[in-house]
A and B are shown apart, each in its own frame.
Chain A
Amino acid sequence: MSGNGTTGTADIAFTLDGETVTARPGETILQVAERHGVRIPHLCYAEGLRADGNCRACVVEIEGERVLAPSCCREPAPGMKVRATGERARRAQKMVLELLLADMPEAPYRADSELDLWARELGVEGSRFPARPAPEPDLSHPAIAVRLDACIRCTRCVRACREVQVNDVIGYAGRGANARIVFDLEDPMGESSCVGCGECVQACPTGALLPAALLRLDVDAVLLSPLDWSWSDEWP
C-alpha cells in the first residue's frame, strides 16, 4: 500500500525502461517520461486538466504489480522499476488505441487528432473491430459543432467545463458502451445552458467538438492544435 500524492521534497530516483531517472516531488511517471523523451501515448490526460486515468492509453508496467498502471496518475516511488515501452505495456497501449480507432468516423475531423497521431506513432493501422453506429451530429449551437461520432469519451470536455470553467453544463451520462457526453439533460447544445466559452473545444483531442465556423470552410479536416506536436516527423 504505497501512498499517492507524496508530499516529500526530495527527488525520487527510479528506473524507466532500464534508465535511472529522477522525478521531482509530485511529478507523475508520464511527466517524467515526457521530460526524458520516453514516448507514452495519452489521450484523457492534458496539461491544465485534472488527470483522470480513464483512457488507459498510457498504462505502464511496474515491477511487482499485478496489472498495468496509468502513468498519468501514478507518482513513482523510490527504486520503482517501470517499463513504459516494453512489450506488455505496448500491447495494451496499442489495443486501447485500436479500440478507440474503431469508434472514429471514416475521415478525421481534425488533421491533428491526438488519437490518429498516437496511432501512427505506435504503428496501429486501422482497427480490426467493426465501425459502430454513428450518433447524429448536433449543430444546434451557433459557435460549437458537436459530432460525437469522433468522441473517445475521455471526458476532457467534462473536466474543462466543470472544473476549469465551473460551468458544469457537460456531463457523462449512461453506462458501458452507451456512456456518452451530454449537455444538461442531454439537450441539444444550442438549447442547453452552455455559454459558449470554448473551453471544451480546446480540450477535445479528436475534434468531436469544434468551432462551428470551421465546418463552413471547405476543408476535409482542420488543424487547430494548441498543443506542441513538433516532435512528429509525420506532421501532416
Chain B
Amino acid sequence: MMPEKREERAGQRKLRVRPTPKGRVAEPQAVAEVRQAIDELPRRADLLIEALHRIQDAFGALADRHLVALAHELRLTPAEVYEVATFYHQFDIVRAGDPPPAPLTVRVCDSIACELAGSARLLESLASTLGRSLRVIPTPCVGRCDKAPVAVVGRRPVDRATPESVEEAVLAGRTEPAPPAAIDYRTYRDHGGYRLLAEWHDGGRDVEELIAAIEASGLRGLGGAGFPTARKWRFVRAAPKPRVVVLNADEGEPGTFKDRHCLETDPHRVLEGLLLAARIVEAEEVYIYLRDEYPAIRALIERELAALAADPPCPIPTIHLRRGAGAYVCGEETALLESIEGRRGEPRLRPPFPAQRGLFGRPTLVHNVETVYWLREILEEGPEAFAARGVRGRKGMRHFSVSGRVQRPGVYRAPAGVTARELVEEYAGGMLPGHTFYAYLPGGASGGILPASLADLPLDFDTLAPYGCFIGSAAVVILSDHDRARDAARNLVRFFAHESCGKCTPCRSGTARTLELLEAERWDTALLAELGEAMADASICGLGQAAPNPVRCVMRFFPEELET
C-alpha cells in the first residue's frame, strides 16, 4: 500500500514538470546548421571564437538561434557564448526579428593617421552614396596608416581611398585581399633560412651562449613594453614544464604597421625567430594570435606553415594559428591569453605573470612579432654588431612606423636613438608641401604627444620618460601646423573608449568620461588631471593606464591650444 501511494505522489509531481526547460532551447535545425559550419572543429570551449568566426563566415552574421545551438554543441551556456560574441567588434549579432545583415560591409578607418588624411569626409561621402544598400561604418586602426585614408571593402583594403575608388571596388566585387608578395619557404631556405634553427637542434649551440648573445644585443620586447628579451627567457626557463610560446600578432596600436610589414614581406624570418624562442624555453606548443584585420596575412601564414610542416628543417613543435576578432585590448598579453582560451579579452591581474602562469595555466613566453623577427639577424651578424647600430648611446635597430603629414610614410629600419626630426627629414622625405612640423606622437595612441620643439630627443625605451611619454611600438605620427594636438588627443581618447574592455572602473568609465570632457570647448583641466591620475594609477592594464597620456601632454606642452 505504501509503495503505491509513493508512486502516486511521484506521478503527480511529474505532471507539474515543465514541458521544456526554462529559457532558450537549442533548435535541432539550428544545431544541424552549426554542426555543418564548424565541421571538424573540436568541441572545446577554447575554440569558441574560431567557432563563432566559422558560423559568421557561413551565415553572414551570428543569429540568436545559432548562438544557442553553438552553446549546446560546445557544452557552454548561452550566457557564456553571448558575452564573448558581443565582446569582439568583428562579430555581428542579429537578433530574432532584426533585419538580415547587409550583403557587404565597408569599413572606414577613423584612427589618427586616417583622420588626418580626411577619413571623416570619406565616411560621410560613402555613407550617403553606398549607405542605402551596404553597411558603411567607421572602424579603428586597420594597420595601414602609411596608405591613409583606408577603407576596407569586405576584407579587401582600399589604400589612399577616395569615394570613387571604394565605389569601384564595391561594383567590381573586389572584396577579398590580394596575397602579399612575401619571401616563400623555398626561397627563404635557399638563402640560409632555418639554418640556425637546424644547427641549434643538432646541438651545435649552447642555450646559455644564445641567451647571453641576445642579452648582449640589448634586444627588448618591441610590442611596446620593452622587457629585456633574454631576461624574459630566463624567467620562463625557471618555471616548470610544460611551457608554451605565444606570438602576439595582434598589432592594433594606432599608427603601428611594422608587424604587418614583417609578416607580409618575410614571414619565415618571424617563424624561425619564434621557433628559436620556443626551443630556448623548450616549449612543446606554439600559438600565433593574429588580428582578424589581417586576413591576407592569415592566408599567407597558413600556406607557409603548411610548407614548413611538409619539409621541416628539423622537428618542430605544434604551431596553432588563432584568429582575433577585432579587439585592440587583446594586444595586451594577458587579454590575449584569455582570448586564445575562448573568453572575453579582459586582462588578468598580475601577479601571477604569464611566465609563471599563462596560457591554460602553463608558464608562457609571449613575444611580439618584431622581437622574434630580429633574432636571426642578431645571431648571424653578432650581438655586438647589432647593439652598435644604435645611436646616441642606444643599442640596436628597430622598425619605425612613420605616418601623418610626411611625404613618404612607411616602415623604416632605423637605429634606436634616432630622432623624430631625422625620421621626417632623412627617412620619410620631409613634410608634405605646405605643411610645417608641429607635433608628433612618439608611440602611437598610448605614447603621448610631443611638440616639434622636442623633435630632437633620441627615440628609444626610457628616453621619453621625463616628458611623460614613451616610444611603445615606435609608431611615429607626424602632425603639422594644419592640426591641433587637442584634436589628436580627442581622436585617441575616442579610440581608447571604444576599445576599453569594460572590466575595471577607471578605464571603462574613465575613458568615456574623459571623452565627454574633451568634447567641451573649454576643457576642465583640473578634473581631467585628477581623473587621468586615477586612470593611470588604478587601471588594470596598459590601455587604461596610458589612455590619459595624450590629454596630459596637451595640457603640458600645448597650453595655448586650450586658451579660448
Contacts and interface: CB of A to CB of B under 8 A. Distances in A.
A203 interface: no
Q: Is the interface of A mostly helix, strand, loop or mixed?
A: loop
Contacts of B531: 95
B505 A177 contact: no
Contacts of B503: 54, 179
A162 B89 CA distance: 25
Contacts of A219: none
B159 interface: no
Contacts of B508: 153, 176-177, 179
A178 B508 CA distance: 9
Nearest to B78: A184
B498 A176 contact: yes
A172 B344 contact: yes
A143 interface: no
B83 A1 contact: no
A2 interface: yes
Interface in A192-225: 192-195
B499 interface: yes
User: Which of B22, B497, B504, B505 is the most central at the interface, judged by chain A CB atoms within 10 Å of its CB?
Assistant: B505
Interface in A26-69: 53-57, 59, 67-68
Given A88-B537, A171-B80, A185-B67, A96 B506 contact: yes
- Provide the main secondary structure of the chain B interface: helix
Contacts of A174: 86-87, 502
Interface string B67-80: 11000000001111
B24 A193 contact: yes
Contacts of A102: 509, 513
A68 B22 contact: no
A185 B78 contact: yes
Contact of B349 (A73, A169, A173): A73
Contacts of A178: 502
**For the complex of A and B, 10 pairs with smallest distance between CB atoms:** A193-B23, A179-B502, A171-B79, A95-B534, A171-B83, A177-B512, A176-B500, A4-B351, A168-B77, A173-B86
30 contacts: A3-B356, A4-B351, A56-B538, A56-B540, A67-B536, A67-B538, A70-B349, A95-B506, A96-B505, A99-B505, A99-B510, A128-B527, A130-B516, A169-B23, A169-B79, A171-B80, A173-B82, A174-B86, A175-B89, A177-B497, A177-B508, A177-B512, A179-B502, A184-B78, A184-B82, A186-B86, A192-B22, A193-B22, A193-B24, A195-B22
Interface of A: 1-5, 53-57, 59, 67-68, 70, 73, 88, 91-92, 95-96, 99-100, 102-103, 128-130, 152-153, 162, 168-179, 182-187, 191-195
